Chains A and B, each alone.
Chain A
Amino acid sequence: KQEVTQIPAALSVPEGENLVLNCSFTDSAIYNLQWFRQDPGKGLTSLLLIQSSQREQTSGRLNASLDKSSGRSTLYIAASQPGDSATYLCAVLHGGSQGNLIFGKGTKLSVKP
């Protein structure tokens, strides 16, 4: 059974710091991995999608990497800003999951001015 774990559960950093959020999954037979952002009480905003054949994706100050063999992904946020404060969710689409995106519990990020 595929399980997704995100560490740490919460993170507080001063503005301007570079930071790394971690995601691990137990079964490497994934179709893709997606990073989302969720503001309190709101829906999910797609940040980056990494297909199983890719090693990383970049969008602006965000960079996500994927290492299938070790079952890990990292989301790197450069020069953090208070507006980056949110919960970041990692989700994997398992090879045979038929549309069932499996989510981690998220990392709650707080960026202090």
Chain B
Amino acid sequence: EAGVTQSPTHLIKTRGQQATLRCSPISGHTSVYWYQQALGLGLQFLLWYDEGEERNRGNFPPRFSGRQFPNYSSELNVNALELEDSALYLCASSLGVGRDTGELFFGEGSRLTVL
């Protein structure tokens, strides 16, 4: 069974550009989570989607946005890129609201570099 898959693996952008990262959850999972892991800052919660709806949002500016599609895959968009957005962006999935054990399964991440 395939795990959480993310694309692209690496992405290089310049300041002011937009980045789009994609995530496919484990089959049968309806919840998708996005986390940012910047150097020295640890993992920080960005967004949580379940059944196509945004359920919760971390302490990030509005230029970080996303959506979840009917097939439960998700994309994270980062607009007006800044140097400090350089980080590993990790996607995770879980069974979903009402069915969850609370166990999250993570993908390999997308490394975003902003020059």
Contact = CB atoms under 8 A, between A and B. Distances in A.
A43 B93 CA distance: 13
Interface residues of B, number: 26
Contact of B43 (A31, A46, A89): A89
A86 B29 CA distance: 27
B22 to A, nearest CB: 15
A99 B56 contact: yes
Interface in B36-67: 42-43, 45, 48, 50, 55-56, 58
B102 A100 contact: no
A42 B43 contact: no
A28 interface: no
A44 B106 CA distance: 6
A49 B102 contact: yes
A23 interface: no
A63 interface: no
B56 A93 contact: no
A101 interface: yes
Given A99-B31, A100-B45, A100-B56, A46 B104 contact: yes
Main secondary structure of the interface of B (DSSP, over half): strand
Given A51-B101, A89-B43, A103-B43, A43 B108 contact: yes
Interface in A41-93: 41-46, 49, 51, 89, 91, 93
Given A43-B90, A99-B33, A99-B55, A49 B42 contact: no
Interface residues of A, number: 25
B103 A34 contact: yes
Interface of B: 4, 6, 31, 33, 35, 42-43, 45, 48, 50, 55-56, 58, 88, 90, 92, 101-109, 111
Interface of A: 31-32, 34, 36, 41-46, 49, 51, 89, 91, 93, 97-106
23 contacts: A31-B102, A32-B102, A34-B104, A36-B106, A43-B4, A43-B108, A46-B103, A49-B101, A51-B101, A89-B43, A98-B56, A99-B31, A99-B33, A100-B45, A100-B56, A100-B58, A101-B33, A101-B43, A101-B45, A103-B43, A104-B42, A105-B42, A106-B42
